[in-house]
Chain A
């Protein structure tokens, strides 16, 4: 066991997979010598050489598209896009080719590749550096979308993603890259994709979140506890395929659901969770499902961002309203 941040846990997962499997290559803008702008890949080029961990020229479509070419011809690329808001130049490759090649070739070609990028707000960044585009990617048939919320999960989920023969979008909560430290096993371990985790059991209301919002929910739960409200907290871990069963079971128990996420509310993962609540647990609902999410706006720059970001007291406010409905 070692104490790790999320950055260190991801680095450790990449290290283990690079060590174990010669077909794994890691690249992106500044990912080689510098180790990426967040130092996630720091030290890996030195250890594994410039053929396996390297800096690519600056073009996201080509980073993803070449990764697809590599995946079709025997490699297992883990490509890095520098920020959430810079993934869009690669969108055509992702939606038109990466997600489809297995289906298009009727299984003749597999696409074992991972597309990693940091996501989310709360770091006083420039425009395009604070976005949560998980719904865009979760909506694309052929992809899986994974978001860890802790160092332990970051490691175990990334190992599963790299070992997956399907293409995976792996979104890293940059706001808590170094904010959480946790004891993580030094050995190789994996966490199954498509399974949510009940982090805290409770009986009054189900709170579903993922990534950086888990920590905010946990802070809100301290307030809820003081108010005598028992919260069941679920970490989605995998956005797609979404774990309907765990969510439905929990709602059947609590009768209420509050969804917490940073992305714009309309047509979001939150909307999907509300659909699950209605389709799978309609007769058990004692209050309307509630979303605590970003506005349908661009994430404001630093001076306006505090109003956009979801705070623990706002989560508590909605939990209390839902329970008292």
Chain B
């Protein structure tokens, strides 16, 4: 009988109000600096020392340089399909300041910046997009899942991990990601529903970058925004200016404290804009205008933070020089990925199972016989 009582208590409780100043039902949005880097909400401005803010800006800059170069590597035919993150750096670098080594990152596939922040190496990311799954066997990063392509399905894994954390009485928090299109998937709703019932320490982030490939968010839902979807599941939800580094930091800090205090999951809608294509195979000019892109350019997360740090007088670096340094570093890691061991036949088979069925070995050996035959004809 105990479980029934517990569930009733959770199910009929009102959503916790940690973000009560920003009611998604009224389509309110958390914003701290404007497009010119002026602080417009002094009260909520986070306690971050200058050094951390500069470090965050540099991380955003590095991610952008790496992202731009990834696109050009793909154009040069040195890498396969890649989903650019250009424009979405503030969300991920803000989360990167909050997420700890033992916390879990559950990415969709447009989270390169937070993956780097979590300790995944650029070499590994490049290796993956060169077509080698070894890029998802992270050498340094702990508790990061490989990118998950089936839309929104990863959110459910995050809820399951949250259950494990509660069950094992661990002090960890889970950070799953999804895009605006993903909120239409059944798995999105199922993940939030289970997370609410189980009261798991999970911070769901929707990177609302306005488009699911070509389809605008206005066609995905009749809801006033995406954060409001939390309300029906009994979770706190907040809409945040995702191109405002400080707003994202404040939202993540509150969500993190909420989750760690055992108060359950949170939904953050981060309003942003995918400046690049959906992937390198996509052409945004088919479905959106230059005017629209230029309008969103004014909200660019790097420019906004840059204006803030310049105005405050804490930016001392030579940005051009910094970009050159970053390019060299990206080039170095890309070369390492290019020089990674060729893909052996064994790798096709050996990770399918822990206890591999004989049939896989038979298929592999048969293929080797064919290879030998082919070799002998040269």
CB within 8 Å of B: which residues of A?
A: 25, 32-33, 45, 50-51, 54-57, 59, 61-62, 65-75, 77, 89, 92-93, 96-97, 101-110, 141-142, 144, 164-166, 193-194, 240-242, 244
Q: When A25-B167, A165-B355, A166-B353 are in contact, do A65 and B133 touch as well, CB less than 8 Å?
A: no
Question: B6, B168, B193: which contacts A62 (Cβ < 8 A)?
Answer: B193
Nearest first, the 6 A-B pairs at minimum CB distance are A69-B160, A65-B156, A241-B357, A66-B160, A50-B3, A106-B137
Judging by beta carbons under 8 Å apart, are B165 and A73 in contact?
A: yes
Interface residues of B in 335-378 (CB under 8 A from A): 347, 350-355, 357-359
Q: When A50-B2, A104-B133, A104-B136 are in contact, do A61 and B186 touch as well, CB less than 8 Å?
A: yes
Q: How far is the CA of A65 from the CA of B145 in the complex (A)?
A: 14
- Residues on A with C-beta less than 8 A from B197 are 57
- Residues on A with C-beta less than 8 A from B165 are 73
Q: How far is the CA of A25 from the CA of B167 in the complex (A)?
A: 10
Chosen A-B contacts, 27 in total, with CB atoms closer than 8 Å, are: A50-B2, A61-B156, A61-B190, A65-B153, A65-B156, A65-B160, A65-B191, A66-B157, A66-B194, A68-B160, A69-B162, A73-B165, A74-B164, A92-B150, A97-B154, A101-B145, A103-B133, A104-B136, A106-B134, A107-B137, A107-B350, A108-B138, A108-B146, A109-B145, A144-B357, A193-B355, A240-B357
Interface string of B142-157 (1 = CB under 8 A from A): 0001101010011011
Chain B, interface residues (CB within 8 Å), range: 35 or more
Q: When A25-B167, A57-B194, A108-B138 are in contact, do A93 and B153 touch as well, CB less than 8 Å?
A: yes
- Residues on B with C-beta less than 8 A from A97 are 148, 150, 153-154, 157
Q: How far is the CA of A72 from the CA of B176 in the complex (A)?
A: 14
Q: When A62-B187, A74-B168 are in contact, do A68 and B157 touch as well, CB less than 8 Å?
A: yes
In the complex, B104 has a CB within 8 A of chain A: yes
B3: shortest Cβ distance to chain A, in Å?
Answer: 4
Judging by beta carbons under 8 Å apart, are A66 and B159 in contact?
A: yes
Q: How far is the CA of A166 from the CA of B134 in the complex (A)?
A: 20
Question: A71, A104, A105, A166: which contacts B355 (Cβ < 8 A)?
Answer: A166
Other A-B pairs beyond A59-B190, A75-B168, 6, CB < 8 Å: A61-B156, A62-B187, A62-B190, A68-B156, A70-B164, A106-B136
Identity of the chain B residue whose Cβ is nearest the Cβ of A51 in the assembled complex: B167
In the complex, B158 has a CB within 8 A of chain A: yes
- Residues on B with C-beta less than 8 A from A32 are 3
In the complex, B261 has a CB within 8 A of chain A: no
- Residues on B with C-beta less than 8 A from A240 are 357
Interface residues of B in 161-211 (CB under 8 A from A): 161-165, 167-168, 186-187, 190-191, 193-194, 197
In the complex, B48 has a CB within 8 A of chain A: no
Identity of the chain B residue whose Cβ is nearest the Cβ of A141 in the assembled complex: B352
Judging by beta carbons under 8 Å apart, are B136 and A108 in contact?
A: yes
B170: shortest Cβ distance to chain A, in Å?
Answer: 9
Q: When A62-B191, A106-B133, A108-B137 are in contact, do A54 and B156 touch as well, CB less than 8 Å?
A: no
Judging by beta carbons under 8 Å apart, are A56 and B194 in contact?
A: yes
Judging by beta carbons under 8 Å apart, are A241 and B160 in contact?
A: no
Judging by beta carbons under 8 Å apart, are B163 and A102 in contact?
A: no
Q: How far is the CA of A313 from the CA of B156 in the complex (A)?
A: 48
